[in-house]
Each structure stands twice: as C-alpha cells, then as structure tokens.
Amino acid sequence: MRHGKEKFDEKKFVKVGRDYLYNYAENNVEPLSPGRRAFLKGVLIGVGVVTVASALPILSVLNPQEVQLKNFPWIIIVDSNGTPIKASSVPINDPTIMLFQYPMLGDITFLLNMGDENNNPVSIPPTKVLIPQNGATYDFPGGVGPFKSIVAYSAICQHLGCAPPEIHFYPPKYFSPGGNVPNYLPSEAYQAALSAGAKSVIHCDCHGSTYDPWHGAGVLTGPTVRPLPYVQLYWDSNTDYIYAVSMNTKAPPIIDHPSDLEGAAYLDSYNKQTECGKLLLNKGEKPSDCYTQLQSDGNTFSGGS
C-alpha cells in the first residue's frame, strides 16, 4: 500500500462512480495492471450499485494474499432477487452484456445463448480448442440447456486483461465489418469468423483480439495467443436451473491468475465449510449460499438499429 493517502471523497465517488474509484486506487493503493483493473470492475459489477460503505473494503483486495480453492465450487446462477436463472429465460443472441462471477470474486464471465440470424437457438457442439501460444489443444464440452445453446466464457481479454464494454459479444444482427467504437469490427476479424463458420464473435476493442464463441472461444485474430477460458455449465432439466461447476485446468487460466483455482478473494456466497460441493436445488427454492448473481453491464448497441 502506498503512503500519504488522500482522503476518500464520498460525495465525489457518488457523483463520478467507477472512474473515481479506479483513480483513487491508482493513486493510493497501487498502479492498476489491466488484469487488476478488470478484477476491480468485476467486483463493482458483482455488487451492482456500490455504496460508499462497500467501496473502501474493495480496495483492500487489490493488493491481497491469493486464496486458493481445493476444487471448483458448484455455484447456481441467480438474478438480482436471488432467484435461480432458468435456461429458458436466457435471451437468444442478447446484445446486452450479461456477466456472472466464477470461480472467484472478480472473475467476470459472459453468459451467452447462441442463435442463428433468425434468433433460433443453435446447438454448440463439443470441440477441441487450439492454444496458439504453444500449439496444444484442450476439449470444450459444448453448450447446455434444452437446445445445448448456452455457453459461458471469461469476459477478461486474454491479451492484456481488458474488460467489458471494451470486450463484448457481437450477435448475428450486429455481425458485420466496420462500425464505430466500441462496436467496431475489423474486416480481418469478420473474415476470420466466416472462415471458421462463426456467425457471431467476441471482440476486444482494446487491441483487436477476436474469439469464436461457436467453437470454445478459440482465437480468431490476435494479438492474443490464448483462447478465452470457458466455465463449464450444468443444466438441471428438472428445474431448468443453470449451475457453474468447473473450468478446464488444461486450458490457459484467466489472465493474471497462476491457476483458475487461485484468486484474490472467494465469492461472497462461498461456503468455506461445505466448499460448495454439488447440490441441486428444488424448483422454487432460493439458495442461501453458493450462488453467483447475473448482472447487466449495459448494451453497447443500444443506440444502433
């Protein structure tokens, strides 16, 4: 931690919000790497509209001792009211940036329901994903849900750690070359996606990295040399609930993580006693722990047609 800290200006934080907290952290905690900035953003998204009381404790985890999970937790995805999300309620080709955190606090993840140009759900099959960095491959298990169309990928770019809205999903309706930042899609990325048989992409405006959500978020264009990590989902057909249950340890970990089992802090709902082992909720039941909240980070296309 730095010395000679300035006083946290509560009124300014309420007025300016996220950017003030970033700058305050830069000046009083430590210089924020892209990965740390993405982590801080993830925490802010996770708590929604941050109160002043909750802002200062967040700063204490910017320079933390890493914590470690023994196993990947079994975490149900819920809405802002704590009600489990149903697979049938996840919009197809939603341009809104919908994020949940897994497996650690700040590990923001896209939840996508993939579809064609007519917004019909499309099954995402298992595939092997190439790691351009070393030429190795790993298995991606495909989508889940009634149409096997729902997937989840890290929302932190594997190049230098940029986070939404700089990195976001381009559904078929907006999948075309050109456009304006933050929705600019280079022709190179568009052509690479077409060649791969992808009808939509995840693209990062920071430096141009593009990922293929149809094939395990593999790399379509650099400068990244690492695919986006995927979160393994489980769909309970009896309740229609969706759970985040694991990640692939053979895939590159989330950027700035030595392992996906290590991070700055546990999820707020993580139960250290049970370690959030496998547990299926009954229909209509709300979880008291071991959950992650799905949050909106806006729609960059909202001004378009």
**Closest to 212 (Cα-Cα) out of 300, 92, 294, 125:** 125
Same domain, 32 and 87: no
pTM for this model (two decimals)? 0.83
**Closest to 22 (Cα-Cα) out of 37, 9, 34:** 37
Same domain, 42 and 159: no
Same domain, 46 and 81: no
The pLDDT, as a whole number, for residue 305 is: 41
Same domain, 215 and 167: yes
Q: Who contacts 278 (Cβ-Cβ below 8 Å, separation ≥6)?
A: 74, 245
Kindly give the interhelix angle for 52-59 and 34-47, rounded to the nearest 10 degrees.
150
Burial (CB count <10 Å: 0-12, 13-18, 19+), residue 72: buried
Our count of domains for the chain comes to 2
Over residues 255-276, the pLDDT tens digits come to 888 999 998 789 999 999 999 9
Residue 140 lies in a domain: yes
Residue 302 lies in a domain: no
DSSP 8-state secondary structure symbol assigned to residue 173: G
| Boundaries of domain holding 31 | 10-59
CA distance 129 to 94: 24
Cβ–Cβ < 8 Å for 150, 122: no
DSSP 8-state secondary structure symbol assigned to residue 34: H
Residue 3 lies in a domain: no
Return the amino acid letter for 255. I
Calculate the CA dihedral of residues 257, 258, 262, 265 and round it to 10 degrees. -40
Residue 303 lies in a domain: no
Same domain, 234 and 94: yes
Neighbours of 64 (CB within 10 A): 11
Same domain, 44 and 88: no
Over residues 149-187, the pLDDT tens digits come to 999 999 999 998 888 999 999 999 999 999 888 899 999
**Rg of the chain over all Cα atoms, to the nearest angstrom:** 19
Cβ–Cβ < 8 Å for 183, 190: no
**Closest to 242 (Cα-Cα) out of 160, 164, 149:** 149
Same domain, 144 and 216: yes
Neighbours of 303 (CB within 10 A): 8
Same domain, 217 and 288: yes
Cβ–Cβ < 8 Å for 244, 292: yes
Is the pLDDT at 115 greater than 90? The verdict is yes
pLDDT band at 59 (very low <50, low <70, confident <90, very high): low
Over residues 181-199, the pLDDT tens digits come to 889 999 999 999 999 999 9
The pLDDT, as a whole number, for residue 53 is: 46
Same domain, 47 and 73: no
Residue 4 lies in a domain: no
Return the amino acid letter for 155. A
Rounded to the nearest angstrom, the gap between the alpha carbon of residue 242 and the centroid of all alpha carbons in its chain is 15
Tell me the average pLDDT across 193-210: 95
Q: DSSP labels for 75-90?
A: EEEE-TTSPBPBGGGS
CATH number at residue 242: 2.102.10.10
The pLDDT, as a whole number, for residue 65 is: 63
Same domain, 34 and 73: no
Neighbours of 187 (CB within 10 A): 10
Cβ–Cβ < 8 Å for 22, 31: no
Structure tokens, 302 = 């909202």
Over residues 27-39, the pLDDT tens digits come to 655 555 555 556 5
Cβ–Cβ < 8 Å for 242, 149: no
Is the pLDDT at 49 greater than 50? The verdict is no
**Closest to 75 (Cα-Cα) out of 295, 281, 224, 301:** 281
Residue 5 lies in a domain: no
Highest mean pLDDT among 14-23, 69-78, 293-302: 69-78
Q: How long is the chain?
A: 305
